[in-house]
Each structure stands twice: as C-alpha cells, then as structure tokens.
Amino acid sequence: MTSNKQLQDLLEQVARGDVDVVTARERLVEALRARPFEDLGFARVDHHRAVRQGFPEVVLGLGKTPAQIAAIAREIVRRGSTLLVTRATEAAYEAVRVVVPEATYYADAAMIAFRQEDVTPGRGTIVVAAAGTSDLFVAEEAARTAELMGNHVCRLYDVGVAGIHRLLGERERLASARAIIVVAGMEGALPSVVAGLVSVPVIAVPTSVGYGASFGGIAALLGMLNSCAAGVSVVNIDNGFGAAMVASMINHL
C-alpha cells in the first residue's frame, strides 16, 4: 500500500465495515514502514511525492542513460504510481518497455508515460496555445503532461501574432479556459496578447525557437517577463512540463 488510491481504498473499506479498525491499523503501519524513497545508488526515487504534491515524481530523461531511466521507471511503477518521463529518447523508451511493457512513447513530446493511478479530474479546461509549428514540441510536452494529470486540454496551435486574426478567431475557446499555457519563441509576444483578452491566469513558456538575436530563447523569456499585461507568469525556456504543473494546480483548486 503505497499510493494515494490504495490508502483511500483502505479508508473506504473501513467506512463500509469491510475492514475492521485493527486490521486497517496493521496495514497502515506496514505501509508506513516503507521508506519514503528508494536508493538506487545513482538516484533516490521519491515515493511520497504524490502525497505532498498530488502527482508522483516525474523523471527528467536528460543526462540519464536508458538503463538508469528504466531502473527508476521500474521502481515508480512497482509502487503503484503513474510513470512520466520527460525529454526521453526512443532508446530510453526501448529500455523502459522491457520493465514496463504498458508504457507509451509520445514522440511529438519526447515523453514516456504509463497511467496507473486514477487522478482527480480538473474542474475545467486548460488551453495550450502555441505561436507556431516550430513550438509544438514544447506545447505537446505541456499538453500531454496536463492530460496525464487529469485535465481536459484544448489545443490552439499556429496562432502567433504574425497573423493575429488566427488568434482572435479563437476568443470563445480562450474565454472558456480556467488556465492558459502560451508557448512562443522569437520575440515572445503572444502571452501578452492572450492575457489582454482573458480573465484567467496565463502561464507563458518561452521557447528556444528563433534567429540569432533570439539568443536561444532569452529574447522571448525577457519579453514575457516584461509583459505589460496583467496575469502573466513565466516559466523557464522550453519548460512545457513546468507550465503544465502550474496550470494543473490552478485547474484543481
């Protein structure tokens, strides 16, 4: 018994009278004996992340070997938690599939995922808006992460400011969101425009897309940080996952 769902099931069994209090206490004590993390030598897998933050530990694939990623994935799944690996290669996926055959690889977002736990659904819709097709890698990381966290996601792609009519034609869907993730590179203007049209939080994601003077996304980052529109918060360059986490927390309030 290590997951939120298993603990909730135990409490419901006690409430129904299917499990007596003494048995429930024994099961709970046994569960609490388990360490909150698993030391693999090269990594310490945090098994209590979901208890503290509502979602299990997410694995960043960058800098890890396929074997390391597979070992971490095995421990996460073994404890009954949902698996999410970001910035994962196909080689990493092949290694993970050996220990987690049910895992899926989303090439458009470079993510490995396996939903094992039920999640509380979000209260509304998260809109993910991307300025251009070149930004879709980051946008899909955000969209698929938000979906795995139990949110309904609406994608609005290729709605950048160079053709502002494309965005204005989606005002109804923008207005229906509880939170909006806006992904843009180049000069990073799109989040300011979107925030000027809506009354919900806008999470801006600068991407590393752009010509030389974009400095790998720094120009977009600085533009978003200097937004004159109210209600804009900014995550790091290419951080679709971080934006999805914030938007999901908002949508679950």
Do the domain assignments include residue 156?
yes
Residues of the chain with pLDDT under 70: 1-6, 29-35, 37-56
- Beta strands 202-206 and 37-39 are unpaired
172 and 192 in a single domain? The answer is yes
135 and 60 in a single domain? The answer is no
Do the domain assignments include residue 17?
no
- The enclosing domain of 150 has a CATH number of 3.40.50.1970
DSSP 8-state class, residue 40: -
107 and 204 in a single domain? The answer is no
Do the domain assignments include residue 9?
no
Please list the alpha-helical segments (H only) found in 17-170. Answer: 21-33, 49-53, 66-78, 90-99, 136-148, 164-168
- Residue 79 has a pLDDT of 79
131 and 245 in a single domain? The answer is yes
Based on its alpha-carbon atoms, the radius of gyration of the chain, rounded to whole angstroms, reads 20
- Residue 101 has a pLDDT of 93
Domain boundary among 65, 80, 114: 114
200 and 157 in a single domain? The answer is yes
- Residue 80 has a pLDDT of 78
- Residue 1 has a pLDDT of 47
Do the domain assignments include residue 109?
yes
Domain boundary among 94, 114, 134: 114
Do the domain assignments include residue 162?
yes
Strand partners, 60: 86
Number of folded domains that form the chain: 2
- Residue 37 has a pLDDT of 65
Do 105 and 93 form a contact (C-beta atoms < 8 A)? yes
Domain boundary among 114, 135, 163: 114
- Residue 54 has a pLDDT of 65
179 and 82 in a single domain? The answer is no
**pTM for the whole structure:** 0.81
Do the domain assignments include residue 15?
no
Do the domain assignments include residue 12?
no
52 and 100 in a single domain? The answer is yes
Do the domain assignments include residue 48?
yes
160 and 179 in a single domain? The answer is yes
Which residue segment(s) compose the domain that 110 sits in? 35-114
109 and 130 in a single domain? The answer is no
104 and 133 in a single domain? The answer is no
48 and 109 in a single domain? The answer is yes
247 and 168 in a single domain? The answer is yes
Within 10 Å of residue 29's Cβ, how many Cβ atoms? 9
CA distances from 188 to 163, 191, 203, 211, 225 (A): 14, 7, 12, 13, 10
